[in-house]
Amino acid sequence: MSWDHPDTHFHVVRNEEGQYSIWPDYKTVPAGWESTGFQGGRDECLAHIDTVWTDMRPLSLQRALAGA
């Protein structure tokens, strides 16, 4: 399998800063990232990220600006 193979399934993952990415299901999710529970094909996962990641700023920046 590879990232570009049409049969590759992915997990949507998120880090502590609230940033999203996709990760192939045949690999262990790297440290600092966790699966959000959404899985599917590459295009499905990227479309899901488009709907849930509405503020691209890292959480630390969002919090800093909210406290200012």
Number of other residues whose CB lies within 10 A of the CB of residue 10: 24
Residue 3 domain-assigned (yes or no): no
Look at residue 7 in the predicted model and tell me its pLDDT: 85
Taking the model in full, what pTM does it have? 0.86
Residue 2 domain-assigned (yes or no): no
Count of domains forming the chain: 1
- pLDDT tens per residue across span 34-56: 999 999 999 999 999 999 999 99
Question: 21 has which bridge partners?
Answer: 13
Residue 14 domain-assigned (yes or no): yes
Number of other residues whose CB lies within 10 A of the CB of residue 28: 6
Look at residue 1 in the predicted model and tell me its pLDDT: 67
Give the CATH number for residue 24.
Answer: 3.90.820.10
Residue 1 domain-assigned (yes or no): no
Percent of the chain with pLDDT over 90: 81
CA dihedral 47, 49, 50, 56 (to 10 degrees): -160
**More confident of the two residues 3 and 44:** 44
Q: What is the mean pLDDT of residues 8-35?
A: 96
Residues of the domain holding 39? 10-67
